[in-house]
Amino acid sequence: MTTGALLTVVGARPQFVKAMPVSRAIARTPGLTEVMVHTGQHHDAALSDSFFRQLDLPEPAENLGIHGGSHGEMTGRMLAALDGVIARHAPDLVIVYGDTNSTLAGALAAAKAGVPVAHVEAGLRVFDRSMPEETNRVVVDHLSRLLFAPTRAAVGHLAREGLVEGVFHVGDVMQDAVLAMAALPDQGDGVLRRLGLASGAYAVATLHRAATTDSAIGLAAAVGYLRQHAGRLPVVLPLHPRTRQAAGHFGVDLAGLTVIEPLGPVDMQRLLAGCALVLTDSGGLQKEAYFHRKPCVTLRDDTEWSETVEAGWNRLWTVDNYRPRREIDDYGAGDAAERIVATIAHFVAEHLDAPSAAAGIRP
């Protein structure tokens, strides 16, 4: 049997989680092999290495150790390093996730080398090109041969940009990952017990986006909003290193919040499962709140996950009330990874004997 060689590029913690169900599905699929490359974008051992251990992901074949610097500098260094990685491993397809600098670098390096790209979480848009993530999404989608959209809205966004070939509405791999983590045994003595929390009697918050942490005004506004809620119930804030550094730099006081060290992925899911409310500037956590059926407030002026707002589980912090609540049927039944890998296997099998047809980027 001819083997299709897949190279997966990850760099940020949410990408490790998304890769878990896909990597497991690849391992179960005859004719496919995977090499995972970690760019090093998220490099703190407490936030990176522990994810691979807790998610039972194989250690990356290569860790490029690239982090820090401006968006352009970081992406450029990753691009140069990944060029060599692709030359060494000669993959038939490169898989990238989401919208980070690692995503963009992986897609660009593959396209320059004439290797097809598969983009997981294709088609997300907030229609704000001032966001680095939005630029990354658009460029990566236009470089990709396989575009795996988590929602019908994402499929529509791609169609409006002329991208219809190779587009698949597969559901959301994060739902697959959340279901898989829920089935894992508690590690240690349970995160709620360790933190002295009672189920249903606290909120979970995260702050980490550059738009929040890069200015004193933005960070103070977000922290002030969390404090308003902390007057009603404890707000547990696993503190991202970037946010800790920004708070110190700008002199933003975190008093009144229950600040804890960052958690591994399984503990974070346990914390979400027991909370009463989620407050976040994260894209992924908005969905995870829904997967646990927890109301969410997004500390941003827009969201790439508009269906969570339309279905009444999420609201922007600029809006006072939720819409009427209903279930969301876009995210699939926990089989997104299987659908992605089946499509990849078919694509690779078709193109292994016709490399010239697979080479290059979307015309």
In order of 97, 104, 168, 175, the CA distances from 150 in angstroms are: 12, 19, 9, 10
291: Cα within 13 Å, side-chain hemisphere: 26
Tell me, yes or no, if 208 is annotated catalytic. Answer: yes
- Block residue for tokens 């646990």: 292
Pair of tokens at residue 189: 């003595």
250: Cα within 13 Å, side-chain hemisphere: 20
Pair of tokens at residue 76: 């450029």
Q: What is d(CA 16, CA 348) in angstroms, rounded to the nearest whole number?
A: 23
Asked if 299 and 223 count as a contact pair (C-beta separation under 8 A), the reply is no
Which of these is catalytic: 43, 67, 208, 292? 208
Helices and strands: H and E segment counts in the chain:
16, 13
In order of 90, 224, 275, 355, the CA distances from 4 in angstroms are: 10, 51, 43, 12
The residue type of 346 is H
164: Cα within 13 Å, side-chain hemisphere: 3
Q: What is d(CA 280, CA 289) in angstroms, rounded to the nearest whole number?
A: 10
Q: Going along 85-184, which residue ranges are E strands?
A: 93-97, 117-120, 146-149, 167-169
Q: Which residues of 141-158 are buried (b: 16+ CB within 10 A; e: fewer)?
A: bbbbbbbbbbbebbbebb
Dihedral sign from CA coordinates of 63, 245, 128, 68: negative
Q: Going along the chain, which residue ranges are E strands?
A: 4-10, 32-38, 62-63, 93-97, 117-120, 146-149, 167-169, 203-206, 235-238, 258-260, 277-280, 296-298, 314-316
Active site (catalytic) residues: 208
